[in-house]
Every structure is written in structure tokens, then in C-alpha cells.
């Protein structure tokens, strides 16, 4: 088990989610990179389904060594030739897990200066702490934080 994991979740205007886990970056010591694996959750999901989806994407973290060659996961999903084309019409929320601390949900916004790029919305992150090192996070807390981050992203795009 790793002490740190991260996922990216792209979403469209209808709320469909494309989750991408991170794994070890072979070029950077202790670095991580998005894997070429993705999971899809169609819109209309419940909080329980959202939390199960996020958990499933986290379970895939470090399941393979990442690569800098070939298309990214979002390109594979959209069948786009470039990352810029693949993310057109999508927004992004990053979710991080730190052992003994819990989750941090970070909304990202489209970087209008750099076509196809996203940047973290500075000063905004939603931490979901463990009750203790050994007690689980309250049911529904991850879904609430994630949906809040999605709303922040949508508002930042206006």
C-alpha cells in the first residue's frame, strides 16, 4: 500500500465522469504520472455510486508503471489525436489521498493562456480528514466534497 495516491476526474457539462488513476513515473524518482487506464461513471449517479467510483479509480493507482509514450487516458477515451482535443468540453477535479490524513479534493480550471491546459484553483482545496488514523471517513463526505469541487470549477469557468 502506498502512502500517497492521486486521481484525476474529468467531467463534462452533463456530469459524466472519466476517472484516471496515477502510478509510478519511470522517469522521475518518487514521481507520479497519469496511467493509461480510465473508468467512466455516467451522469445520474447517487452519492454511494460516486464514492464507489472514486474508490475504484483509487484502487487502480500504481497498478502499472506509467509511460510518457502514446496517448493519454483521456485521449484513449475520447479517441482524440491530441490532449488539447481530448479535453475540449471537459473540466477537472483532482483527488489526493495521504495515508493517516485522508483526502484532499482540488478543483482545477481551464488555463485560458495555455490551450488545453488546466491549473489548480489557487487557495481552494477541500480536505476530508480521518477521524483518527484508524477510523474511516464519514459516509458521504467524499461525495459532498467532490460535488462541491465540481460546482467551484463550473463557477470559475463563467
Residue 150: helix, strand or coil by DSSP?
Answer: helix
Nearest Cα to Cα of residue 11 among 43, 35, 46, 38: 43
Residue spans of alpha helices (H) in 90-140: none
Domain annotation for the chain: domains and CATH numbers: 4-156 (3.40.1590.10)
Give the model's pLDDT for residue 108.
79
Contact 11, 150 (CB under 8 A): yes
Instruction: Determine the pLDDT at residue 139.
Output: 80
Shortest CA distance to 60 belongs to which of 97, 92, 22? Answer: 22
State the pLDDT at residue 119. Answer: 62
pLDDT on residue 122 = 59
The pLDDT averaged over each successive group of 10 residues in the chain (158 residues) is 86 94 90 93 96 94 90 94 88 87 80 60 56 61 86 74
Cell 462541491 maps to which residue? 148
pLDDT in tens, 24-35: 998 988 889 999
Amino acid at each position: 500500500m502506498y502512502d500517497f495516491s492521486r486521481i484525476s476526474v474529468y467531467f463534462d457539462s452533463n456530469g459524466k465522469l472519466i476517472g484516471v488513476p496515477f502510478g509510478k513515473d519511470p522517469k522521475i524518482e518518487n514521481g507520479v504520472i497519469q496511467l493509461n487506464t480510465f473508468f467512466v461513471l455516467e451522469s445520474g449517479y447517487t452519492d454511494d455510486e460516486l464514492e464507489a467510483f472514486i474508490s475504484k479509480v483509487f484502487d487502480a493507482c500504481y497498478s502499472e508503471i506509467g509511460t510518457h509514450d502514446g496517448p493519454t487516458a483521456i485521449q484513449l477515451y475520447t479517441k482524440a489525436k491530441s490532449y488539447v482535443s481530448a479535453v475540449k468540453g471537459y473540466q477537472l477535479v483532482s483527488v489526493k489521498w495521504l495515508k493517516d490524513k485522508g483526502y484532499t479534493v482540488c478543483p482545477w480550471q481551464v488555463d485560458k493562456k495555455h490551450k488545453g491546459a488546466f491549473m489548480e484553483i489557487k487557495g481552494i482545496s477541500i480536505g476530508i480528514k480521518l477521524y483518527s488514523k484508524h477510523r474511516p471517513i464519514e459516509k458521504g463526505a467524499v461525495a459532498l466534497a467532490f460535488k462541491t469541487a465540481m460546482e467551484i470549477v463550473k463557477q470559475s469557468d463563467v
